[in-house]
């Protein structure tokens, strides 16, 4: 089963980093967040990736074109133009890199990779979201209901601590980064049937608007509730928080060994 990753956006809200690289190439623990996402999928046996490129997409292409060298110990004989690989820890991934246009919207990017997915069920997610999600259980849930698409519904933590005070300004309880208002939101990690391509008109189509809205209206969209860790790399603050989790050795999304 193919895994489609949307990796072409501008990442304007983290311009401190995205001015020089596409957001999926921003590093957490010395590795692009895109690598972390792929490691999650690979852990559950999904190793065939289709990556939708756009803004500075050549950097992602070059990363994977030279990935084997990045992950190897080697000797380079400059005089004889010879390369000897001593040890490689490259993952057994197949990665298809497709230029879906710098200004194409999310739905348009998905539409453009239809020939590479074919008439098969496929996974789909964003190139900036991490979770400790059980992808095997997600797929089982999707197959159980028979609808066209499943999205993963998450409840991200609040951004600030919450105070419960009385009339005399005495704090009764304090909760650091509690859950938000209790509502669920779209956290990515979709499973889709080929029928979803019928909901995509072209490059200007935004996946999160008309297609998902119409799928919901038609009764073809289901939600898989994920109440454990989910985090997105949207701002520099998010990057620092994810980096801190990784450096602590307790990154929740590190489901692989």
pLDDT of 5-24, one tens digit each? 999 998 777 877 878 899 99
- For residue 102, what is the enclosing H or E element? none
**Cβ within 8 Å of residue 13, ≥6 positions away:** 234, 235
Number of other CB atoms surrounding residue 252 within 10 Å: 13
**Cβ within 8 Å of residue 120, ≥6 positions away:** 1, 2, 194
The model's pTM is 0.89
What is the pLDDT at residue 37?
Answer: 98
What is the pLDDT at residue 98?
Answer: 98
Task: Return the structure tokens found at 31.
Answer: 């590795």
> Is residue 171 pLDDT above 60, yes or no?
no
61-75, 171-185, 201-215: lowest mean pLDDT where? 171-185
Distances (CA, A) of 151 to 6, 67, 138: 15, 31, 9
Q: For residues 157 and 253, is the Cβ–Cβ distance under 8 A?
A: no
What is the pLDDT at residue 182?
Answer: 59
> Is residue 72 pLDDT above 70, yes or no?
yes
* Better-scored residue on pLDDT, 226 or 72: 226
Task: Return the structure tokens found at 152.
Answer: 């993963």
CATH class of the region 2-156+184-247: alpha beta
Q: Which of 201, 239, 232 is nearest to 15 (CA)?
A: 239
Q: What is the DSSP letter of 121?
A: -
């Amino acid at each position: 089963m193919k895994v489609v990753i949307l990796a072409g956006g501008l990442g304007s809200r983290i311009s401190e980093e995205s001015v020089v690289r596409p957001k999926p190439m921003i590093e957490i623990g010395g590795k692009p967040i895109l690598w972390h996402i792929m490691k999650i999928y690979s852990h559950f046996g999904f190793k065939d990736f289709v990556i939708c490129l756009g803004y500075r997409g050549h950097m992602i292409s070059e990363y994977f074109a030279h990935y084997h060298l990045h992950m190897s110990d080697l000797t380079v004989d400059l005089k004889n133009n010879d390369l000897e690989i001593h040890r490689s820890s490259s993952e057994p991934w197949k990665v298809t890199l497709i230029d879906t246009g710098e200004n194409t919207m999310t739905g348009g990017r998905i539409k453009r990779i239809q020939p590479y997915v074919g008439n098969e069920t496929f996974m789909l997610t964003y190139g900036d979201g991490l979770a400790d999600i059980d992808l095997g259980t997600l797929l089982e849930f999707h197959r159980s209901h028979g609808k066209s698409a499943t999205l993963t519904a998450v409840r991200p933590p609040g951004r600030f601590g919450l105070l419960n005070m009385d009339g005399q300004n005495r704090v009764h309880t304090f909760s650091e980064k509690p859950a938000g208002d209790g509502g669920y939101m779209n956290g990515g990690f979709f499973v889709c049937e080929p029928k979803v391509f019928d909901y995509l008109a072209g490059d200007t189509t935004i996946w999160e608007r008309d297609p998902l809205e119409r799928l919901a209206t038609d009764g073809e969209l289901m939600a898989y509730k994920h109440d454990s860790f989910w985090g997105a790399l949207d701002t520099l603050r998010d990057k620092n928080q994810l980096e801190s989790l990784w450096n602590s050795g307790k990154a929740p999304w590190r489901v692989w060994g």
